[in-house]
Amino acid sequence: MAYTLTFWGTRGSIPTPGPRTARYGGNTACIGVSGPGRRLLILDAGSGLRPLGHELMARRDGPLSADILLSHTHWDHIQGLPFFKPLSAPGNSVCIYGAAQEGVPLEKILRRQMDPMVFPVPLTAVAAALRVTEIEEGEFPIADFRVRAFRLRHPGTTYGYRLAPATGGREIAYVTDNELGDGGSYPVGDGWRAALVTFLGETDTLIHDAMYSEHMIQVRRGWGHSTPRQAVELAAEAGCRRLVLFHHEPEHDDDAIDRLLDQTRAFARQVAPGLEVDAAAEGLELAL
């Protein structure tokens, strides 16, 4: 099955609009995954979800169906939801999948960011049919894909996902907000790294957290993120064909990301010859 990935938001933590981030983009995490079926699969609901929603409404030729798969519920992964235009149209149907956090149901967390104290329209007032489904580690079907979820090293319950087209084809993995270094303390077992490599084994395209430069990670161990070099080492170990650097640091403007990408490609040529390395940019489309 052929399908397309479209990057609508590539930034981590907070939107960074402006001329200095125009090429790689200022919207937070959101990727559209469109296959031959009518249901669109969306990875994360950062502020990039807003322009994606506008595009869907402009192109629609009938009711829309979308599945949104959340890595976790930190702001930069859910803040686009209140501005997702398809939610405001009757006849549309939207399913949101993600983990509960610390015993708090996912639906309750999503309602909280639209509480009248902080937002004018409550989640319960949306016109579309909305379903919220909690997931755990393991395998389940969504839209045209078989999805596998794997617990990451990041504060809160955060999942990485491997997507396999139900009818066969190239597989992708979306692994953001993940600390590959030895900082932090997370409820994962001793064999976590080996299990992650097995989970990712032979994935065609790995989209991975590459937030911090080598300099930054020195003072941000334990914050739940990785460096581009760490992502290269993981992609090489797992035998991936392509690595896409994702969740760009808000302090990095386009020129800084250019430099990081150049350095990362040079590193990859030494340790992982043949690995294609790209940096996620708003508007980038990858055909699989």
Site for Zn ion, rule CB under 5 A: 12, 74, 76, 177
107 vs 177 by CB, closer to Zn ion: 177
Cβ of residue 23: shortest distance to Zn ion, in angstroms? Answer: 20
* Nearest partner of 209 among 153, 254, 139, judged by Cα: 153
Quote the CA–CA distance of 211 and 12 in Å, as a whole number: 7
Quote the CA–CA distance of 135 and 129 in Å, as a whole number: 19
139 vs 251 by CB, closer to Zn ion: 251
Cβ of residue 177: shortest distance to Zn ion, in angstroms? Answer: 4
Cβ of residue 151: shortest distance to Zn ion, in angstroms? Answer: 13
9 vs 12 by CB, closer to Zn ion: 12
Cβ of residue 10: shortest distance to Zn ion, in angstroms? Answer: 11
Cβ of residue 46: shortest distance to Zn ion, in angstroms? Answer: 8
Quote the CA–CA distance of 248 and 173 in Å, as a whole number: 17
85 vs 248 by CB, closer to Zn ion: 248
12 vs 51 by CB, closer to Zn ion: 12
Asked if residues 51 and 23 have their Cβ atoms less than 8 Å apart, the reply is no
Crossing angle of helices 228-238 and 192-200, in 10° steps, is 70
Block residue for tokens 């919207």: 27
Quote the CA–CA distance of 225 and 183 in Å, as a whole number: 9
Q: How many residues does the chain have?
A: 288
CA 124 to chain centre: 25
Cβ of residue 219: shortest distance to Zn ion, in angstroms? Answer: 18
63 vs 250 by CB, closer to Zn ion: 250
Q: What contacts 262, CB < 8 A, 6 or more positions away?
A: none
Residue with the CB atom nearest Zn ion in the bound state: 74
